[in-house]
Structure 1
Amino acid sequence: MTTDTAAAPMPMPRREQTGLLKRFLPRTLFGRSLLIIVTPVILAQAVATWIFYDRHWDTMTNRLAFAVAGDIAMVIGMLEHDPTPEGRNWTLAATARSTDLIVTLEPGSTLPDHPPKLRGMLENTLSKALHERVRRPFAINTRITREWYEIRVQMPDGVLSVMSPERRLFSPTSYIFILWMVGSALVLFTVAIIFMRNQIRPIKRLAAAADALGKGRDVRNFKPEGATEVRQAAVAFLRMRERIHRQITQRTEMLAGVSHDLRTPLTRMKLALDMLGDGPEVEELLTDVTEMEMMIEGYLAFARGEGTETVQPTDLTRILNEVVSGVRREGAEVALAAPDGLTLPLRPNATRRCLANLLSNARRHGDRIWVRAEREDGFIDILVDDDGPGIPQASRDDVFKPFFRLDSSRNQATGGAGLGLTIARDVVRSHGGDITLSDSPYGGLRVLIRLPV
Structure 2
Amino acid sequence: MKRFLPQSLPSWILLILIAGLLTTQVATLSIVSRDRTESNDVLELFRLSERAYTLVKVLYAAPGPERKQLAAALSNSANPLSMSDQPAVTSVIAADDSLAELEDVLVARLQEFGVTDARIRRVSARVPTNTAPGPGAPDPDAGLIERQLSALAEDFSQSDGLAASIKFKDGQWLNFVTPIAPVNPIFTAQTLPLFISVAAIVIAMSIWAMRRLTAPYTALEQAVKRIGEDVKSPPLPEFGSSEYKSAARAVNAMQAQLKEYVADREQLAAALAHDLRTPLTRIRLRLELLRKSPLRQSLTHDLNDIEAISRSVIDFATYEIVDEEQEKIDFWSLVDSVTDNYPQVSFDKPARASRRLICMGRPIALRRCVTNLVDNAVTYGGKAHISLAPSGGDILLTIHDEGPGIPQAKLDEVFQPFRRVESSRNRQTGGFGLGLTIARNIARRCGGDIKLENDVKGGLRAELRIPRIA
Give the TM interval when normalised to the shorter protein: 0.5 to 0.7
- SS of 2:313's equivalent in the other structure is helix
> What residue is the counterpart of 1:335 in the other structure?
347
How far off its partner does 1:200 sit? 0.5
> What residue is the counterpart of 2:229 in the other structure?
215
Give distance in 2, aligned partners of 1:54 and 1:264.
Answer: 95
Please tell me whether the aligned partners of residues 437 and 447 of structure 1 are also in contact (alpha carbons under 8 angstroms).
Answer: yes
What is the number of equivalent residue pairs in this alignment? Answer: 384
Give distance in 2, aligned partners of 1:136 and 1:334.
Answer: 94
Give distance in 1, aligned partners of 2:368 and 2:278.
Answer: 25
Within the candidate set 54, 60, 83, 2:40 is matched to 60
> What residue is the counterpart of 2:10 in the other structure?
30
Per-residue CA deviation, residues 21-50 of structure 1 (Å, 9 max, x unaligned), is x33322332221112222222212211101
Unaligned stretches of 5+ in structure 1?
1-19, 96-100, 105-130, 154-163
Within the candidate set 324, 338, 342, 2:339 is matched to 324
> What residue is the counterpart of 2:252 in the other structure?
238
> What residue is the counterpart of 2:277 in the other structure?
263
Does structure 1 residue 366 correspond to structure 2 residue 381?
yes
Does structure 1 residue 427 correspond to structure 2 residue 427?
no
Please tell me whether the aligned partners of residues 45 and 181 of structure 1 are also in contact (alpha carbons under 8 angstroms).
Answer: no
Does structure 1 residue 348 correspond to structure 2 residue 363?
yes
Per-residue CA deviation, residues 73-106 of structure 1 (Å, 9 max, x unaligned), is 979998984748xx95xx69xx9xxxxx9999xx
- SS of 1:390's equivalent in the other structure is coil
- SS of 2:355's equivalent in the other structure is coil
1:74 to 1:372, Cα distance in 2 relative to 1, 3 A: farther
Task: Return the letter of the residue paired with 2:334.
Answer: I
Does structure 1 residue 387 correspond to structure 2 residue 402?
yes
Give distance in 1, aligned partners of 2:345 and 2:124.
Answer: 108
Task: Return the letter of the residue paired with 1:201.
Answer: A
Please tell me whether the aligned partners of residues 231 and 259 of structure 2 are also in contact (alpha carbons under 8 angstroms).
Answer: no
- SS of 2:340's equivalent in the other structure is helix
- SS of 1:207's equivalent in the other structure is helix
How far off its partner does 1:373 sit? 3.7
Give distance in 1, aligned partners of 2:157 and 2:437.
Answer: 97
Give distance in 2, aligned partners of 1:324 and 1:358.
Answer: 11
Give distance in 2, aligned partners of 1:374 and 1:344.
Answer: 13
Give distance in 1, aligned partners of 2:33 and 2:196.
Answer: 15
Task: Return the letter of the residue paired with 1:247.
Answer: Y
TM-score (normalised: structure 2): 0.64
Q: Which deviates further from its counterpart, 276-285 or 226-235?
A: 276-285
1:205 to 1:44, Cα distance in 2 relative to 1, 3 A: same
Task: Return the letter of the residue paired with 2:7.
Answer: R
> What residue is the counterpart of 1:304 in the other structure?
318
1:65 to 1:432, Cα distance in 2 relative to 1, 3 A: farther
1:336 to 1:299, Cα distance in 2 relative to 1, 3 A: farther
TM-score (normalised: structure 1): 0.66
Give distance in 2, aligned partners of 1:413 and 1:226.
Answer: 58
Give distance in 1, aligned partners of 2:230 and 2:258.
Answer: 11
1:251 to 1:193, Cα distance in 2 relative to 1, 3 A: same
Within the candidate set 428, 449, 453, 2:464 is matched to 449
Give distance in 2, aligned partners of 1:424 and 1:411.
Answer: 21
Task: Return the letter of the residue paired with 2:37.
Answer: W
How far off its partner does 1:65 sit? 9.7
1:307 to 1:372, Cα distance in 2 relative to 1, 3 A: farther
Unaligned stretches of 5+ in structure 2?
81-118, 139-146, 159-178
Give distance in 2, aligned partners of 1:422 and 1:223.
Answer: 31
> What residue is the counterpart of 2:144 in the other structure?
none
Please tell me whether the aligned partners of residues 405 and 411 of structure 1 are also in contact (alpha carbons under 8 angstroms).
Answer: no
1:361 to 1:184, Cα distance in 2 relative to 1, 3 A: closer
> What residue is the counterpart of 1:251 in the other structure?
265
How far off its partner does 1:64 sit? 5.9
